[in-house]
Amino acid sequence: MTATQASAPQDLVPAGDALVQIRRVRKSFGAHQVLRDISLAVPAGTVTVLLGPSGSGKSTLLRCVNHLETIDGGRIIVDGDLIGYRQAGNRIHEMTPRQIAKQRANIGMVFQKFNLFPHLTALENIVEAPVGVAKRARGASRARALELLDRVGLADFANHYPAQLSGGQQQRVAIARALAMDPKLMLFDEPTSALDPELVGDVLDVMRELANDGMTMIVVTHEIGFARGVADQVAFMDGGVVVEVGPPGEVLDNPQRQRTRNFLESVK
């Protein structure tokens, strides 16, 4: 969508206090339409969990929010900024890589794979972006990184390399690295799916603390207990559409759609 007619009415998703507004977003890979007119609002300071079977479009939607994937139609707005594009009249044009990188600095993302630099220590991995991308002072960035390592329970592992850390510890370093840029929004793409079961709890505990601190989060996960206990809203996706969305007590315990009920039965 490098230049196209404006296609999303501005009142599709009420603004309110929504930090994230996803408006009629469409995305295809070749002939396969992955996202079909997705609309969703995420209020500031809340947690939205995306549930659904593999291939339902959850991860693609998350990647579109920080423009790791371009969209074919619609709008994604974060804190009032149109993500990835600028509008001129009734046409929009993709931003330059530098402009996109500036927007992305406000959106932290944690992936299934930890993506840590293997040749850098935990501390150095966290310091890298604030110094190299945001051009912050190294001393202040190092002090902040040590605070974040303490926050995720890894104060004693600052000088360990990724190969010396468990998967759960690496994922907590990855969370600290994302937080080091002081993002307005955190995106989590199945952050516990690559972990051994006994390591999942520590990562989820860090995410719960972030939620308690008021971090706005969108989380793709199959951890139903986390969704029930932490989410403010749950969106169930299937076939590239949001089938059902609402408070976790409604979507998880009293789903209105048969597709939602079938999925929840399969993950019990």
168 plus 262 within the same structural domain = no
Spatial strand order in the sheet of 73-78:
32-43, 18-29, 73-78, 81-82
DSSP 119-172: TS-HHHHHHHHHHHTS---HHHHHHHHHHHHHHTT-GGGTT--GGGS-HHHHHH
What is the token pair recorded at 23? 């408006």
Last residue of a domain, one of 182, 212, 240: 182
36 plus 127 within the same structural domain = no
82 plus 166 within the same structural domain = no
CATH number of the domain that residue 50 is part of = 3.40.50.300
Total domain count, the chain: 2
Q: What is the pLDDT of residue 153?
A: 97
171 plus 190 within the same structural domain = no
The answer to whether the CB of 199 falls within 8 A of the CB of 184 is no
45 plus 130 within the same structural domain = no
Q: What is the pLDDT of residue 1?
A: 52
Last residue of a domain, one of 182, 211, 240: 182
Q: Name the residue among 39, 41, 52, 21 with its Cα closest to residue 236.
A: 52
166 plus 222 within the same structural domain = no
What is the token pair recorded at 14? 């009420």
89 plus 39 within the same structural domain = yes
100 plus 189 within the same structural domain = yes
* Average pLDDT per 10 consecutive residues for the chain, totaling 268 residues: 39 62 96 96 97 96 97 95 90 92 94 94 97 94 98 97 97 97 97 92 96 97 94 97 97 96 90
Q: What is the pLDDT of residue 4?
A: 40
What is the token pair recorded at 245? 């969305």
222 plus 173 within the same structural domain = no
What is the token pair recorded at 82? 């149109």
pTM of the predicted model, to two decimals? 0.92
Last residue of a domain, one of 151, 182, 213: 182
34 plus 68 within the same structural domain = yes
Domain span at residue 147? 114-182
92 plus 123 within the same structural domain = no
- Give me Rg for the CA atoms of the chain: 19
240 plus 118 within the same structural domain = no
